[in-house]
Amino acid sequence: MTDFPPGFFDRADDGDDGGFYGPPRLVQHIDDGAIAAVGAFYDEIGVDGDVLDLMSSWVSHLHTRPRHLTVLGMNAAELDANPMADERVVRDLNTDPALPFPDAAFDTVVCTVSIDYLVRPVAVCAEVGRVLRPGGTFALTFSNRCFPTKAIRGWLAADDGQRAAIVATYLRDAGTFDEPVAQRRASSDDPVIAVHARRSWRPGRPARSA
């Protein structure tokens, strides 16, 4: 298991996330080129079947609606505005990283421009491994945009390549995934980094609590 440096998961604003994310923000957090690149990546890896959009909002960045889309996020109004969603769950994963779903419930889990806000990301990734069906994919995309007061300090101190390595480390430490694949996707001004891994068919090992 990785020993992250002291303070890595600290944030400038460690106050209640519910208050910060309370006002609906029905805006795009990346530019049009980055949005297109994210959607193309999700098309390429085959986001279909029963899908969980983790830390979601009013848009899921999917070009094609899957068979069943569950969106989980912090703001009920934003989730209600998501036109692709079949099921909506309000959840603060920094308060409780457990996902309220049974084992092997999803074919794919996506997380778009949000991994940088988790203070216990390995625990969340382990939960994703639990709710994914064997062979299913966990796909994460991110750019260099964020709410800096809510992003963890380790993320803010890293560059794009280091951030890809950080996310890959989370997935390895979760103990339930095959080796992650990271790549930089073509976009316009906002870079798009994509990291994905398949749920291993092998039994996992217990994850650390980070």
The pLDDT of residue 187: 63
Integer Cα distance of 155 and 141 in angstroms: 14
- List, in order of start, the domains of the chain with CATH numbers: 17-198 (3.40.50.150)
Integer Cα distance of 76 and 81 in angstroms: 9
Give the predicted TM-score (pTM) of the model.
0.89
Average pLDDT over residues 143-157: 86
Give every CB contact of residue 36 below 8 A, 6+ residues apart in sequence: 187
- The two tokens of residue 81 are 């505005």
Per-residue pLDDT band for 208 (boundaries 50, 70, 90) equals very low
The 3-class secondary structure across 113-126, one letter per residue, is CCHHHCCCHHHHHH
Residues 105-136 pLDDT 10s: 999 999 999 999 999 999 999 999 999 999 99
- Type of residue numbered 137: T
The pLDDT of residue 209: 47
- 144 strand-pairing partners: none
